[in-house]
Amino acid sequence: MHAMLSITPGGPETLEWAETPTPEPGPSQILVAIRAAGVNYPDTLMIRDLYQFKPPRPFAPGGEIAGVVVSTGPEVTDFAVGDRVMALSGHGGFATHICIDAADALRIPDEMPDTDAAAFVFTYGTSYHALMERGVLRSGETVLILGAAGGVGTAAIQIAKAAGARVIAAVSDAGKAEVCKALGADDTVIYGRHPDKEEQISFSRNIKALAGKAGVDVIYDAVGGSYAEPALRAIAWQGRYLVVGFPAGIPKIPLNLPLLKGCQIVGVFWGAAVERDPKGHQANMQALFDLYASGRVKPLIHATHPMQDAAKALEEMQNRQVMGKVVMVNDQ
């Protein structure tokens, strides 16, 4: 087998495509021939040793995969050779093969191609958990999505619309705004790449103008940085501010704002939620499969690249050039 290995900490340019021994599945594991792997922002952090989890080197990044089972451990009863599966791998996905615990695998719906499957679990799982479980989103409410043109953002637009919410998509340029409108966003607002104080005030005013006097019921913040405070200033009374990620930096929130707004600031650590409540995760994924089958959600694939070009894909991700998801594919 081959894998795109991180041998030393650093950027995408440090990755090396190398031959490695094909692993044998343990008693409760399955060996999967990877057909596609999703690219996510944590991959760019993991290779720099900046993520919460630090795999021992050498390792391949790549936290979600889709492929076909090629062998199984003796204790595996739920899967057989030839089954199409998708899974969160944490890492190891930028490769030709991977061993995963059978309990972590999901059977790919027949109507879902491998590229969609590889772009589904992480972003849709995160956004569904955030909006429906942590945000308790209700039909008729207004949602503001920061970073709306990215992977989790595009998923959040679709999930929020399927739930009957009004969506305001916040993005960094007009092209991304058009993409969000095509996905169903009701309104869009554009923010500067590095907003100063005046631009922050303008950003907050623009949100309030779109949201109306009541404000935004749920804020989905996958950006952080200097965008967080102006967004929070536009939240409704007893609104819910969802902390999903902060590629723009960890914000400093004046705590008088939650007091004055009577609002909640809610952490969204989806990976830990999956680990602590696997049955809940399974139920969420089934709900998402139903939405996919009905055509209400579908991954926006920005680009596909051969697995050997993972460095290029990660550069696109870290430079915020991606609308939707990038997927790595192995030749069939």
Of residues 322 and 83, more confidently modeled: 83
Above 60 in pLDDT, residue 283?
A: yes
User: Which segments of 212-277 does DSSP mark as H helices, in order?
Assistant: 228-232, 256-261, 270-276
% pLDDT > 70, the chain: 100
**Residue 196 pLDDT level (bands cut at 50, 70, 90):** confident
CA distance 160 to 234: 19
pLDDT tens per residue, range 145-185:
999 999 999 999 999 999 999 999 999 999 999 999 999 99
Residue 90 has pLDDT above 70, yes or no: yes
Domain ranges of the chain: 2-120+299-329, 123-271
pLDDT band at 297 (very low <50, low <70, confident <90, very high): very high
Alpha helices, DSSP H only, in the chain? Answer: 41-46, 114-118, 121-128, 151-162, 174-182, 197-211, 228-232, 256-261, 270-276, 278-293, 310-318
Q: Once rounded to an integer, what is the mean pLDDT over residues 318-328?
A: 85
Tell me, what's the pLDDT at 318?
80
SS3 62: coil
Distances from the Cα of 221 to the Cαs of 27, 171, 206, in angstroms?
41, 12, 17
Tokens matching residue 240: 């819910």
Q: What is the pLDDT of residue 31?
A: 98
Among 134-148, 286-300, 307-321, the minimum mean pLDDT is found in: 307-321
Q: Determine which helix (DSSP H) or strand (DSSP E) holds 303, and give its type and residue range.
A: strand 301-306
For the chain, give the mean pLDDT. 94
Helix axes 278-293, 121-128, angle to 10 degrees: 110
Positive/negative CA dihedral, 112, 113, 118, 120: negative
Structure tokens at 288: 């998402």
pTM over 0.95: no
pLDDT digits (tens, 9 = 90+) for 197-230: 888 999 999 999 999 999 999 999 999 999 999 9
Average pLDDT over residues 290-301: 96
Would the pLDDT of 332 be above 60? no
The CA distance from 134 to 243, in Å, is 10
pLDDT at 257: 95
Q: Which CATH architecture has domain 2-120+299-329?
A: Alpha-Beta Complex (3.90)
Residue 248: pLDDT band with limits 50, 70, 90: confident
d(CA 322, CA 310): 14
pLDDT tens-digit readout, 99-110 = 999 999 999 999
Residue 21's SS3 state is coil
- The answer to whether 215 and 236 are in contact (CB under 8 A) is yes
31/96 Cα distance (integer angstroms): 11
Of the options 3.40.50.1100, 3.40.50.720, 3.40.50.300, 3.30.70.260, the CATH number for the domain spanning 123-271: 3.40.50.720
Judge contact between 297 and 324, C-beta under 8 A. Answer: no
Q: How confident is the model at residue 188 (pLDDT cuts 50, 70, 90)?
A: very high
φ/ψ of residue 315, rounded to 5: -65, -40
Q: How many CA atoms lie within 13 A of 304 on its CB side?
A: 15
Identity of residue 47: I
Each residue's pLDDT tens digit, 14-53: 999 999 999 999 999 999 999 999 998 889 999 999 988 8
Tokens at residue 91, please? 């890492």
Amino acid identity of residue 10, one-letter, is G
